[in-house]
Amino acid sequence: MCGITGIFHRGKKLLPAELIVRSLDQMRERGNGLGSGYCGYGIYPEFRDDWAFHIFYTDNNARAGGVDYLKKHFLIKHAEPVPVRPVKTVTNRPIIWRYFLQLKDEVRQEFYDLSEHDIITNCVMEINSTISGAYVVSSGKNMGIFKGVGFPLDIAEFYRLDEYRGYLWIAHNRFPTNTPGWWGGAHPFGLLNFGLVHNGEISSYGINKRYLESFGYSLTLQTDSEAILYLFDLLSRRHQLGLELASRILTAPHYLVIEQSPPRWKKLLTAIRLTYGSALINGPSALIIATADEMIGLTDRIKLRPLVAASDGQMAYLASEESGITAIAKKPKKIYRLDAGIPMIFN
């Protein structure tokens, strides 16, 4: 189940959020009301150079702890509750705030051996794991994640998405199976400028989780999809392999396929399996990963979850169903059927 979709104007023209909402609602039956969400890029041009943190708090004590932590590490340029509308079907909501931040010079100097991205990542992990009731939902620049428990139209109405415009949007309609339906576990998941939506389940979660923890990641959101997001960060950013090679690592082929590959590919694919075996994700999956400049679609090695792509001039589309694309692009010039385990990259 689960419905995922993404739209991307590669010239970075701002698009109304209504497009991604309509695409996701076309796949409403793929969810059961226990989670929906949207991630938009280019939505905060007035704060484009600041880290934009969206944080869920379970109560005011958690909020006080979160604010104390942020004040210690950042200059808070602006802070406010995320604007919402009352929606009868959206209940048990957390306290939702957003902050536009700049890292303090003394923090940079204290952690001089780390990049700014590493420091921000460590801050996100520390807030999520040590401040009870506080969860950083997104932490990139000029982007934000809006998610919760509800159907796609209800969550869009709740967050007043009709007031936002962005050049890249990804979205998710959830049908949770092995993990709880709660606000922090709804998709998309975000870390730095990465945003991810995922349909499926990861049977390798235990191995992936232990592997990530050895690199300092804390998994606190009670879902296997969080692990995929952090694997992309580890491989593409920290190990500097890029998103395409990171995608190949996550869906590395079986050894039988490797043995039948041309010599050049056989050497590379063997090295991937030997070096990053613990990063391989097993189980039926389709996902969309986004950054400020790219949108990538990827399925598991035998394509047990659907994903369709299309392009039309500067516009690129990904969705679980073709109807999710044709609902907003009536006659796309080209429709792609993704090959199993091979990333479809729009940049």
Catalytic residues: 2
d(CA 232, CA 148): 23
d(CA 19, CA 2): 19
Q: What is the DSSP string of 76-130?
A: EEEEEEPP----TT--S--EEEEEEEEE-HHHHHHTTTS-HHHHHHHHHHHHHHH
d(CA 231, CA 280): 9
d(CA 271, CA 268): 5
The residues, any chain, with a CB within 8 Å of residue 198's CB and separated by 6 or more, are 2, 4, 172, 187, 189, 225, 228, 285, 286, 287
Angle between helices 116-130 and 60-73 (to 10 degrees): 160
CB 20 within 8 A of CB 195: no
One-letter identity of residue 170 = I
Edge-to-edge strand list for the sheet holding 143-148: 143-148, 36-41, 168-173, 3-9, 315-319, 308-312, 334-337
Give 105-109 contacts, CB < 8 A, sequence gap 24+: 107/73, 107/74
d(CA 171, CA 267): 37
Residue 105, φ and ψ in degrees, nearest 5: -60, -40
Whole-Å CA distances, 254 to 111, 247, 248: 41, 15, 12
The gap between the terminal CA atoms of the chain, to the nearest Å, is 28
Residue 154: its H or E element: helix 152-158
d(CA 67, CA 133): 13
